[in-house]
Structure 1
Amino acid sequence: MKLSTARRWLRPRVRRAVTWGALGLACAQVAAAATVWGVDSLRKRREPPGGEFPLTEPVPIDVAGSALTVYTYGEDVYAAMLEAIREAKHYVFFESYIWKDDPVGREFKRELIRAAERGVQVFVIFDSFGNLVVPRSFKRFPDSVHVMRFPLWRPGLITFNIRKSGRDHRKILVVDGERGFVGGYNIGQLYATSWRDTHLQVRGPQVWELDNAFVDFWNEHRRPHHPELEDRGALSWDARIQSTQNSPSSMLFPVRGAYIKAMDRAQHHIYITQGYFIPDTEFLGAMLRSARRGVDVRVLIPEVSNHVLADWAARTLYRRMLEGGVTIWLYQGAMVHAKTATVDGRWTTIGTTNIDRLSLVGNFEINLEIYDEAIARHMEKVFATDLTNARLLTLEEWESRPFLNRVGERLLHPLRFLF
Structure 2
Amino acid sequence: MAALQQGCGQRMQALMRRGLLLAAMAPLLLAGCGSLPRINPDLTMRPSHPIQMEGAHGPLSSQQSKAILARLKLGADDTHIFERHLALVQEMGSSPLVVGNKVELLLDGPATYASMFAAINAARDTINLETYILEPDEIGQSLVDTLLVKQRTGVQVNLLYDSVGSLSTPKEFFQPLVDAGAYVLEYNPVDPRKARKDWALNERDHRKLLVVDGKIAYVGGINISSVYSSGSFGSSSSRSKNARHTQDGPTWRDTHLRIEGPVVAEFQKLFMSTWERQKGDALGGRNYFPQLSNRGPEVVRAIGSSPDDPYSLMYATLISAINSAESQVYLTNAYFLPDAQLLAALKDAAVRGVDVRLLLPGKSDSDLVLFASRSFYQELLGSGIKIYERQDALLHSKTAMIDGVWSTVGSTNLDWRSRLNNQEIDAVILGQDFGNRMQTMFEQDLRASRQITRDDWEHRSLLSRLKEAGARLWARLL
- Give me the TM-score of the superposition, normalised by structure 2: 0.70
1:318 match: 377
- In the alignment, structure 1 residue 249 sits paired with structure 2 residue 285: no
- In the alignment, structure 1 residue 167 sits paired with structure 2 residue 224: no
- In the alignment, structure 1 residue 112 sits paired with structure 2 residue 152: no
- In the alignment, structure 1 residue 331 sits paired with structure 2 residue 423: no
- In the alignment, structure 1 residue 377 sits paired with structure 2 residue 432: no
Maintained 8 Å contact 2:405/2:430: yes
- In the alignment, structure 1 residue 89 sits paired with structure 2 residue 148: no
Q: CA deviation at 1:110?
A: 0.8
Query: Which structure 2 segments of 5+ residues have no match?
Result: 1-12, 18-71, 73-97, 193-197, 231-250
Maintained 8 Å contact 1:66/1:205: yes
Partner-residue secondary structure (3-state), 1:129: coil
Amino acid at match of 2:164: F
Maintained 8 Å contact 1:215/1:230: no
Write out aligned runs for 1:35-114 (5 A). 64-114=99-149
CA deviation vs aligned residue, 1:132-174 (integer Å, no higher than 9, x gap)? 122342233333111111133377xxxxx99774100000000
Maintained 8 Å contact 1:164/1:249: no
Q: Distance in 2 between matches of 1:106 and 1:164?
A: 27
Q: Distance in 1 between matches of 2:268 and 2:432?
A: 25
1:207 match: 264
- In the alignment, structure 1 residue 149 sits paired with structure 2 residue 206: no
CA deviation vs aligned residue, 1:165-216 (integer Å, no higher than 9, x gap)? 4100000000111111000000111112121100000022221121111111
1:347 match: 406
Q: CA deviation at 1:236?
A: 7.8
Maintained 8 Å contact 1:154/1:164: no
2:59 match: none
1:198 match: 255
CA deviation vs aligned residue, 1:349-381 (integer Å, no higher than 9, x gap)? 110000001012210001111111111111001
Q: CA deviation at 1:222?
A: 1.9
Q: Which structure dedicates a bigger proportion of its chain to helix?
A: 1
Partner-residue secondary structure (3-state), 1:199: strand
Amino acid at match of 1:210: F
Q: Distance in 2 between matches of 1:249 and 1:412?
A: 28
CA deviation vs aligned residue, 1:307-356 (integer Å, no higher than 9, x gap)? 11111122221100000111110101111110000000110011000000
Check 1:319–1:204 CA distance in 2 against 1; reply closer, same or farther (3 A cut): same
1:395 match: 454
Q: CA deviation at 1:279?
A: 1.0
CA deviation vs aligned residue, 1:77-133 (integer Å, no higher than 9, x gap)? 101101111111110101111111111111110111111111111110000100112
Q: Distance in 1 between matches of 2:164 and 2:273?
A: 21
1:278 match: 337
Q: Distance in 1 between matches of 2:321 and 2:291?
A: 25
Partner-residue secondary structure (3-state), 1:205: coil
Q: Distance in 2 between matches of 1:115 and 1:404?
A: 54
CA deviation vs aligned residue, 1:237-278 (integer Å, no higher than 9, x gap)? 999311111111233411111111111111111111111111
1:289 match: 348
In terms of Rg, which structure is larger?
1
Identify the match of residue 134 of structure 1 among 135, 144, 169. 169
Q: Distance in 2 between matches of 1:250 and 1:67?
A: 29
Maintained 8 Å contact 2:100/2:298: no
The count of aligned residue pairs is 355
Q: Distance in 2 between matches of 1:179 and 1:231?
A: 11
Aligned-pair identity (%)? 34
- In the alignment, structure 1 residue 182 sits paired with structure 2 residue 189: no
Amino acid at match of 1:213: L
Query: Which structure 1 segments of 5+ residues have no match?
Result: 1-32, 38-61, 156-160
Q: Distance in 1 between matches of 2:409 and 2:200?
A: 25
User: CA RMSD of the aligned region, Å?
Assistant: 2.6
Maintained 8 Å contact 1:163/1:249: no
- Give me the TM-score of the superposition, normalised by structure 1: 0.80
Q: Distance in 2 between matches of 1:154 and 1:282?
A: 35
Check 1:353–1:168 CA distance in 2 against 1; reply closer, same or farther (3 A cut): same
Maintained 8 Å contact 2:125/2:156: yes
Maintained 8 Å contact 1:209/1:243: yes
2:237 match: none
Q: Distance in 2 between matches of 1:350 and 1:386?
A: 15
2:159 match: 124
